[in-house]
Amino acid sequence: MSHHVQPASVVVVGAGQGGYRTAASLREQGFAGRITLISAEDALPYEWPPLSKAYLKGEADETQLWLRPVTYYGRQSIDLVTGTVTEIDRAARTVRLADGTACDYGHLVLATGARPRTLDVPGAGLRGVYTLRTARDAAALRDALTVAERVVVIGAGFIGLEAAAAARGSGCEVTVVEARGRPLTRVASAPTAEHFTRLHRREGTRLLFGRGVAALRGTYRWGRVAAVQLTDGSRLPADLVLVAVGVTPRTELAAAAGLPVTGGITVDARLLTEDPHISAIGDCAAFPQVSSGNRMRLESVQNAVGHARFVARRLTGADRSYDEVPWFWSDQFSTTLQIAGLDEGHDSEVVLGDDPEAFSVLLFRGQTLQAVESVNRPADHLAARQLLVGRSRLTPHDVTEEGFSRKGHLAHLTSGRPASFAG
Ligand SMILES: Cc1cc2nc3c(=O)[nH]c(=O)nc-3n(C[C@H](O)[C@H](O)[C@H](O)COP(=O)(O)OP(=O)(O)OC[C@H]3O[C@@H](n4cnc5c(N)ncnc54)[C@H](O)[C@@H]3O)c2cc1C
């Protein structure tokens, strides 16, 4: 017997990848109450990954980014509201918008995402300096790239590298500056990062590591950026600068409402905040990882969509903990990187494959497989996801046997020995 009582209405703050998916999944789960999807952006909900890939390269237009046509929302009775939520009144179970209107909720889902970090250096506000998060940011950057000649990208994370590839593709001279010693330090292992360094250099992009930005210098008359001054004293001429140095989760609404924030909006394994009427999902939510129990935020479409589906099921009666294995992808030039699992500090790594353009890196902590990074090896990625879902018993020893690491594919291992992965 279920004691579950569905809320009469659900209000979702933010109509990004997670917010949209929450509303859509609620209807798919048969939720019949009122759904209000509030978006600070004056645009139909859209896909975010192309913003630093096909869209930036001019290979897709805005309408191709839309997750659904406008008619979908009417048909599904999803009330799509343009506006910025400025306050949550938990006692009254109401949110207030910047235009003064209010909206009552039975359950509130915070899907506010994150905003790009900016540089705290002189000249950071010059014209010609961009960040990339929303479709509007991407449109401005795309237009600027068509006339730019010398582009400096600050930060060699996924967004910086993808945008650098797009800029290079449109014929710009491109330099990437990274304060750490290699690209992708937060998100990928050394062998994978090494591949991307080689790839970008081969395509003619200059990569500078271990150097920070001291200032952005402008032209005297127009207030436009003209150069990037590095901490080692060198100066890079630039007519377009992209700052891609990570994001800050948008937690201020939750914090102002008295909800705990620990690096992100704090939620439990059911993605509920301290308030049983408020959930938080996607980039803004710090949730306990299945693998370690550590609470952290993840920034990926799979995470936002997985959270959204989970919360929609929970609100319509399911009662369990969130336990999806994280996965992620990135496209740069001819390379597709796919990551399965979560590397929370590995102590050994095994590289499968002897082709420098197609390999997988297995990351272990002790005897436990934590994550697999596949460079142009999609079959390994799918196999890795299955392994990680099954709480694999794959050990470093298994994959280094008899030269397996040079020739082998994870897919062979998993299909050859299904029984050993059951528990
Ligand atoms: C350029 C780019 C490329 C990416 N590429 C990939 C990729 O290849 N693979 C991958 O897995 N991930 C990728 N990501 C990451 C992925 O897009 C994010 O992890 C995902 O969009 C997070 O979803 P979300 O719903 O949590 O937040 P978001 O999609 O950021 O949406 C949050 C929305 O909430 C709105 N909002 C915030 N506060 C309020 C408020 N108070 N009132 C009303 N609205 C509000 C914001 O305006 C925004 O529209 C990329 C991200 C970017 C920016």
All structural domains of the chain, each given as residue ranges with its CATH number in brackets, are 9-115+248-315 (3.50.50.60), 118-245 (3.50.50.60), 334-421 (3.30.390.30)
Task: Using DSSP, state whether 313 is helix, strand or coil.
Answer: helix
Report the helix count and the strand count for the chain, using DSSP H and E.
Answer: 12, 26
Residue 383 to residue 385: CA distance in whole angstroms? 5
* Residue 182, pLDDT score: 97
Cβ-Cβ contacts under 8 Å for 120 (sequence gap 6 or more): none
Two tokens, residue 400: 């280094």
* Residue 227, pLDDT score: 97
Distance 114 CA to ligand 1 centre (A): 7
| Segments in 170-284 forming alpha helices (H) | 190-202, 252-256
CA dihedral 175, 179, 184, 185 (to 10 degrees): 160
Distance 327 CA to ligand 1 centre (A): 16
DSSP annotation of 30 reads T
The answer to whether the CB of 281 falls within 8 A of the CB of 294 is no
Mutate to test the pocket of ligand 1, among 44, 65, 301 (most ligand atoms within 8 A of CB): 301
Mutate to test the pocket of ligand 1, among 103, 112, 153 (most ligand atoms within 8 A of CB): 112
Residue by residue, pLDDT tens for the chain (423 residues) are: 456 789 999 999 999 999 999 999 999 999 999 999 999 999 999 999 999 999 999 999 999 999 999 999 999 999 999 999 999 999 999 999 999 999 999 999 999 999 999 999 999 999 999 999 999 999 999 999 999 999 999 999 999 999 999 999 999 999 999 999 999 999 999 999 999 999 999 999 999 999 999 999 998 777 999 999 999 999 999 999 999 999 999 999 999 999 999 999 999 999 999 999 999 999 999 999 988 899 999 999 999 999 999 999 999 999 899 999 999 999 999 899 999 999 999 999 999 988 999 999 999 999 999 999 999 999 999 999 989 988 667 888 888 776 666 667 787 766 544 333 332
Q: Considering only CA atoms, which residue is closest to atom 11 of ligand 1?
A: 300
Q: Which atom of ligand 1 is nearest to the CA of 282?
A: 26
Interior/surface letters 254-278, b for 16+ CB within 10 angstroms, e for the rest: beebebebeebbbbeebbbbeeeeb
Distance 22 CA to ligand 1 centre (A): 14
Q: Which residues does residue 39 pair with via DSSP β-bridges, in sequence order?
A: 82
Mutate to test the pocket of ligand 1, among 25, 48, 271, 385 (most ligand atoms within 8 A of CB): 48
Two tokens, residue 18: 């997670």
Best CA proximity match to 242, nearest among 216, 218, 210: 216
Distance 14 CA to ligand 1 centre (A): 9
Residue 196 to residue 339: CA distance in whole angstroms? 14
Distance 301 CA to ligand 1 centre (A): 8
**DSSP E strands, 117-196:** 129-130, 150-154, 173-178
Residue 37 to residue 82: CA distance in whole angstroms? 9
Q: Considering only CA atoms, which residue is closest to atom 5 of ligand 1?
A: 49
Cβ-Cβ contacts under 8 Å for 201 (sequence gap 6 or more): 207
Cβ-Cβ contacts under 8 Å for 27 (sequence gap 6 or more): 35, 76, 77, 78
Q: Quick count: other Cβ atoms within 10 Å of Cβ 224?
A: 14
* Residue 399, pLDDT score: 81
How far CA 368 is from CA of 328, 359, 420, in Å, comes to 20, 20, 14
Q: Considering only CA atoms, which residue is closest to atom 25 of ligand 1?
A: 18
Q: Could you tell me the end-to-end alpha-carbon distance of the chain, in angstroms, rounded to an integer?
A: 30
Residue 214 to residue 382: CA distance in whole angstroms? 43
Q: Residues lining ligand 1, judged by CB closer than 6 Å? A: 13-19, 38-41, 48-49, 51-52, 84-85, 111-114, 132-133, 159, 250, 253, 282-284, 299-302, 304, 328-330
Q: Considering only CA atoms, which residue is closest to atom 15 of ligand 1?
A: 300
CA 1 to chain CA centroid, Å, is 38
* Residue 394, pLDDT score: 81
Q: Considering only CA atoms, which residue is closest to atom 53 of ligand 1?
A: 133
Q: Considering only CA atoms, which residue is closest to atom 31 of ligand 1?
A: 16
* Residue 398, pLDDT score: 80
